[in-house]
Amino acid sequence: MRHNLILTPLKTLSEHFDKLISGRLWLKVIIALALGVLAGIALGPDLGLFSSGTVRAITAWLALPGQVFLSIIQMIVVPLVIASIVGGLAANNDAAAMKKNGLLALAFITLSTALAATIGIVLALNINPGSYIEATALSNDQIAPLTSTVAKGFPAVAELPDKVSALIPKNPLASMASGEMMQVILFSAVLGAALLSIPAKQSRPLFDLLTALQEVSLRIVSWAMLLAPLAVFGLITKLVANLGIEVLAGMAIYVATVLLGLLCIAAFYFLVARFTLPQKSGEFFRHIRELLLLAFSTSSSAAVMPITLEVVENKLLIKPEVARFLVPLGATINMTGTALYQGVATVFLAQVFNVDLGLGSYLFVVTMAVAASIGSPATPGAGIIILSMVLEGVGIPAAGVALILGVDRILDMCRTAVNILGDVVTCAVVQRFSTQEANTLISPDNAKSQTKA
């Protein structure tokens, strides 16, 4: 009898819990995150319950759903980008409007990226996280191969024309196969512009085909989303098990500085969204919370691009001609969270190695943060490569990358979520200002004057 009294509330609680999370992907992802952290701690080096070989085998299998999830999303990104950009161009036959939207987006992204890098520098200078770290244990040999590769990739002034011309894909299929998103975007834009320049009767079949391709791509994404909670659990478990709590604790002040900066940028984006979207802040957050959680889990702007498109169009009601052009573009060039991370990391490592940075160095960091965002890959780990280029330019020892490499993955997850938030807000800003200008052009006063004329 007593057992029945105990089991009945437990059964009721279980049913209530199942009902609570049913259909709420964001809640399932949060639960998967929490369970993944606990499983990672249990498997990690801090407790030492399992041998390293056993941990590698277990985490490899646990991460399999995550790898399958990412592979499915990455498989569909290129066709979705092509279909979305061409479809966005087709939805707006006004070339002047498209040019204006692109310039507005570029201006907002440039300003927000520069602001993010500046906030990172200011926070690091005031918090001084480098004073908590000893650099004596670091060796330049630890990361020599990485820095040598980055140094070769840093373009000189004489090489810039070749870099610019390389943005035009000589073989679009090769660019699609290798995932060169900037080249794919340029090819899609040229294709869309060319289709708009020919008679509608001739271009309509291809536009219809690309519309169907976009719908098929989104359907495949909806199937992949069924794996999202399992994917998050496996990826987080593998991350924590390999990283360990001790590494995170040793860099706590640095990590906290970066997270504080990312929160500042997120607050800025929410403030901008408050004035550019009709939804209230709470409703806006409810619409994007699943998207931000998935961006955090995958660490890839490209991987969540299909979900970003769906949220922006269907939930935030951004016009298709704006969303389908700017979301793929933003995933490629909008790296606001990465820019802030570069500002904090550069000052942090300068403090660790006692490197004096002047005003010119800080301006170089901000400029590089803006310039390096354009064309950088929307994949996990891109920020550390960009940071290495910045460090080369300001004379900070290469061993500094090894110091922050241990916690880069968790910070990469956080800054990717901020990057995605920036993509969403960029669409809102462009639509708001485009609509305002259009309303000004057809205001009652203007209409009356045109009627009198």
**What are 11's two structure tokens?**
């059964």
- Over residues 85-122, the pLDDT tens digits come to 776 666 555 566 667 777 888 889 889 989 999 999 99
Per-residue pLDDT band for 420 (boundaries 50, 70, 90) equals very high
Per-residue pLDDT band for 27 (boundaries 50, 70, 90) equals confident
Q: What is the dihedral of CA 104, 107, 113, 119, to 10 degrees?
A: -110
**Residue type present at position 383:** G
Contact 86, 188 (CB under 8 A): yes
Per-residue pLDDT band for 436 (boundaries 50, 70, 90) equals low
pLDDT higher at 370 or 253: 253
Cα separation of 343 and 409, whole Å? 17
Calculate mean pLDDT across residues 267-292.
89
**Between the ranges 41-50, 214-223, 287-296, where is the mean pLDDT highest?**
287-296
Per-residue pLDDT band for 77 (boundaries 50, 70, 90) equals confident
Per-residue pLDDT band for 6 (boundaries 50, 70, 90) equals very low
Contact 321, 88 (CB under 8 A): yes
Q: Which of 186, 165, 164 is CA-nearest to residue 175? A: 186
Task: Decide if pLDDT at 403 tops 70.
Answer: no
Could you give the 3-state DSSP secondary structure of residue 108? helix
For residue 374, the model assigns a pLDDT of 58
Share of the chain above pLDDT 70, in %: 71
Per-residue pLDDT band for 265 (boundaries 50, 70, 90) equals very high
**Residue type present at position 113:** T
Contact 193, 90 (CB under 8 A): no
Mean pLDDT rounded to a whole number for the chain: 74
For residue 243, the model assigns a pLDDT of 66
- Over residues 288-321, the pLDDT tens digits come to 988 888 888 777 777 788 888 888 988 888 888 7
For residue 122, the model assigns a pLDDT of 93
Chain center to CA of 113: 13
For residue 150, the model assigns a pLDDT of 38
Which alpha helices (DSSP H) does 303-398 contain, by range? 305-310, 320-333, 336-352, 359-373, 382-394
**What are 309's two structure tokens?**
């498109």
For residue 33, the model assigns a pLDDT of 77
Could you give the angle at the alpha carbon of 48 between the alpha carbons of 42 and 49, nearest 5°?
60
For residue 2, the model assigns a pLDDT of 42
- Over residues 139-183, the pLDDT tens digits come to 444 333 333 333 344 444 566 576 667 767 777 788 777 766 667
Residue 72 has φ and ψ, to the nearest 5°, of -65, -45
- Over residues 231-259, the pLDDT tens digits come to 878 877 887 787 666 655 667 888 899 99
Calculate mean pLDDT across residues 430-445.
62
Calculate mean pLDDT across residues 381-395.
66
Share of the chain above pLDDT 90, in %: 10
Q: Please name the residue that has the structure tokens 């279909």.
A: 83
Contact 117, 339 (CB under 8 A): yes
Report the CATH fold assignment for 29-436.
Proton glutamate symport protein (1.10.3860)
Per-residue pLDDT band for 261 (boundaries 50, 70, 90) equals very high
For residue 422, the model assigns a pLDDT of 92
**Between the ranges 160-174, 186-200, 428-442, where is the mean pLDDT highest?**
186-200
Contact 359, 98 (CB under 8 A): no
Confidence (pTM): 0.68
Calculate mean pLDDT across residues 310-334.
83
Contact 373, 113 (CB under 8 A): yes
Residues 135-173 as b/e (b if ≥16 CB within 10 A, e otherwise) read: eeebeeebbeebbeebeeeeeeeeeeeeeeeeeebeebe
Task: Decide if pLDDT at 17 tops 60.
Answer: no
